[in-house]
Structure 1
Amino acid sequence: MIFIADSGSTKTDWRIVTQDTVLGQAQTAGFNPMYQETDEIFQEINDVLLPQLSDKNPEAIYYYGAGCSSPDRNKRVEDALLRAFPDAAVFVEHDLLAAARAVCGRQAGIACILGTGSNTCLYDGTDIIDNVPSLGFLLGDEGSGAYMGKLLIKAYLYRELPEDLATSLKNTYNLTKDGILDTLYSSAIPSRYMATFARFMHDKQKHPVIHGMIYENFSEFFERHVVKYEGHETLPVNFVGSISYFFSDILKQVAKKYGLHVNTILQSPSQGLIQYHQELLQTFGSPKKA
């Protein structure tokens, strides 16, 4: 029995898997070791995950997470998991590899994450061979829910929204300038707060101003990331994440402008990861580093 964890900055989906069966699932808050230390991650696992597991003990845990992009950051997550599951083999990988494995399988392609944050890679069917860097919430995250939220909130605070939108936004979230800034700058994960406004934009996406912001968000994403990859004109472009899933119509419109072929769009990589790891278990008979 193994656990597969797919973690973004907002939530973590956990799957309990054997070589031919999914035994169960659980959910916790998301983790990001760019912002969180081992103790905070362990506390969520101990308080929220363990009560959902009915004393299930995995042989191995395959954890794919946002921010897991260096040995030091990965170790923060690994140490938290080992504290909770001392007998398990723990493998911590970047969520970008999860996206590539889920949507590309063993085929070459461009894999993209569009959720709270954003990232992309060029995948050769086995490994990530190129990655235009994701610069995170402060400098990048084009295409993401957080970036979309920033576009909306800046327009609101700068008094650039039409009155009908501004009033609706203010009433929906009970917004004040000080409240926005206090929440944003006191938050441990500010991208998570900004991404909450993506729901409003989804509900209002037919409004020309909101449609224009969403279009701008995806245009910046394609220009600064996807078109930089060699072969982008012919390779399939695949997506994982709630933003790509719920805004797929506009995403495809923008991709068409750049001559890109959108293939797969998944809300979550979980099913693709389950299939990937079950095939490994069937091939090798016991857990191993993927």
Structure 2
Amino acid sequence: MILIADSGSTKTDWRVINANQEYEQVNTTGINPQYLETEKIYAIFETELLPQLKEKNISTIYYYGAGCSSPERNKRVEDALRRAFPGSVIFVDHDLLAAARAICGHQPGIACILGTGSNSCLYDGKNIVDNVPSLGFLMGDEGSGAYLGKLLIKAYLYRELPDELATSLKNKYSLTKDGILDTVYGSDIPSQYLATFAKFVYEKRKNPVIKEMIYENFEEFFERHVSKYEGFGELPVNFVGSIAFHFADTLKLVAKKYGAHIGTIISSPSEGLIKYHQELLNMQDAQA
């Protein structure tokens, strides 16, 4: 059996699969080695993952995760996995590769992640060949749930929201200025906190002020990321992530402004990854 992890900052989807087209799904808290050290990552495995995988003989683990963008960060995850699964072969890579494999398959295209965070790449059908860097929560994450939450909370604190919206937001989340700032600047994963406000944005998406905020969020992403790739007007631009999926109508409007062609928009790359790795497993079995 192999174990596939599709991990974001908010949640991690795990799939146990075999060559017989069967799989089992479990879920845990999100993991991002940009913010979490090995011990904290292992604690999630120990308390949330391992109890759900009793008596499962895991031979190989493919872990695709947000924040897995350098050897040092990848090692944090790998060390935690080796401690949790000492007998397994382990591969740790960026969630961007998972996105490309899931939504582009074997065809060239631009693969984009719009979830809690954001990222993008140019994919040639086999490998990632270009990547406008994702600068993370403090300097980037345009298009993401965290960025959308940041736009909303800034507008709230700067008194730029209509009274009705501001009151609704304050009452729904019991907001105070000190509480917001303490959480944003004191949390291990501030992006996860800000991304929770995307639900409010979705509920109020027909409000003109909120509608403009959603548009601005995606416009920033196309301007700073998608438009920088060679051939972006000819290649399909594919998206994975809850923000892309739930705000697809606005995303398509922004793409049209930039002359881009949207291909696939899906909420999660899991099904595409399952297909990819089952095919890989079948090939390995055939060669054995």
TM-score between the two structures when normalised by the length of structure 2: 0.98
CA contact (8 A) 1:134 1:141 kept: yes
Secondary structure of 1:285's counterpart equals helix
Q: Map 1:56-67 to 2 at 5 A.
A: 56-67=56-67
Deviations 1:21-56 (A, max 9, x none): 233111001111111111110111010111111221
Counterpart contact for 1:102–1:272, Cα < 8 Å? yes
Task: Tell me the secondary structure at the aligned position of residue 116 of structure 1.
Answer: coil
- Tell me, what secondary structure is at the counterpart of 2:218? helix
In 1, the alpha carbon distance for the partners of 2:196 and 2:133 equals 24
Asked if 1:142 corresponds to 2:142, the answer is: yes
1:6 corresponds to: 6
Tell me the residue number matched to 2:46: 46
Correspondence list, 1:42-191, <5 A:
42-191=42-191
The AA in structure 2 aligned to 1:4 is I
The residue aligned with 1:235 is 235
Q: Which runs of 5+ in 1 are unaligned?
A: none
Verify the 8 A CA contact 1:60 1:287 in the aligned structure 2. no
After TM superposition, the structure 1 = structure 2 runs for residues 187-198 of structure 1, keeping only pairs within 5 Å, are: 187-198=187-198
Provide the secondary structure at the position in 1 that maps to 2:164.
Answer: helix
DSSP-derived class of the 2:251 partner: helix
2:253 corresponds in structure 1 to 253
* Number of residue equivalences: 288
- Is the partner of 1:263 in helix, strand or coil? strand
Q: Supply the distance in 2 between the matched residues of 1:28 and 1:46 (Cα, whole angstroms).
A: 11
SS at match of 1:143: coil
Q: Deviations over 1:230-264 (max 9, x none)?
A: 01011000001000001111111111111111110
Distance between the aligned counterparts of 1:90 and 1:190, measured in 2?
Answer: 29
Quote the residue 2:269 is aligned against: 269
Following TM superposition, the consecutive aligned residue runs of length 4 or more in structure 1 with deviations greater than 2 angstroms are 20-23
Uncovered stretches (5+) of structure 2, i.e. residues with no partner: none
Q: Deviations over 1:157-216 (max 9, x none)?
A: 000000010011001101011111111111100000000000000000000000000000
Q: Distance between the aligned counterparts of 1:51 and 1:91, measured in 2?
A: 22
1-structure distance, mates of 2:283, 2:20: 12
Aligned to 2:281: 281
Closer, same or farther in 2 for the Cα pair 1:131/1:287, shift >3 Å?
farther
- Counterpart Cα distance in 1 of 2:223 and 2:43: 40
Tell me, what secondary structure is at the counterpart of 2:125? coil
CA RMSD of aligned residues (A): 1.2
Please tell me whether the aligned partners of residues 59 and 287 of structure 1 are also in contact (alpha carbons under 8 angstroms): no
Please report how far the alpha carbon of residue 275 of structure 1 lies from its aligned counterpart in structure 2 after TM superposition: 0.5
Q: What does residue range 29-44 of structure 1 map to in structure 2 within 5 Å?
A: 29-44=29-44
Aligned to 1:221: 221
Q: Is the alpha carbon distance of 1:267 and 1:286 closer, same or farther for their aligned partners in structure 2, counting shifts above 3 Å?
A: farther
Amino acid at match of 1:221: F
TM-score (normalised: structure 1): 0.98
Contact 1:15 1:22 in 2 (8 A): no
Cα distance in structure 2, aligned partners of 1:229 and 1:159: 37
Give the Cα separation in 2 of the matches to 1:121 and 1:162: 37
Structure 2 distance, partners of 1:286, 1:102, is: 23
Between 91-100 and 22-31, the greater mean CA deviation after superposition: 22-31
Alpha carbons of 1:276 and 1:137: their partners in 2 closer, same or farther (altered >3 Å)?
A: same
Deviations 1:244-288 (A, max 9, x none): 001111111111111111110110000000001111111121899
Distance 1:20 1:287 in 2: 16
Q: Is the 1:110–1:123 contact (alpha carbons within 8 Å) kept by the matching residues of 2?
A: yes
AA in 2 matched with 1:140:
G
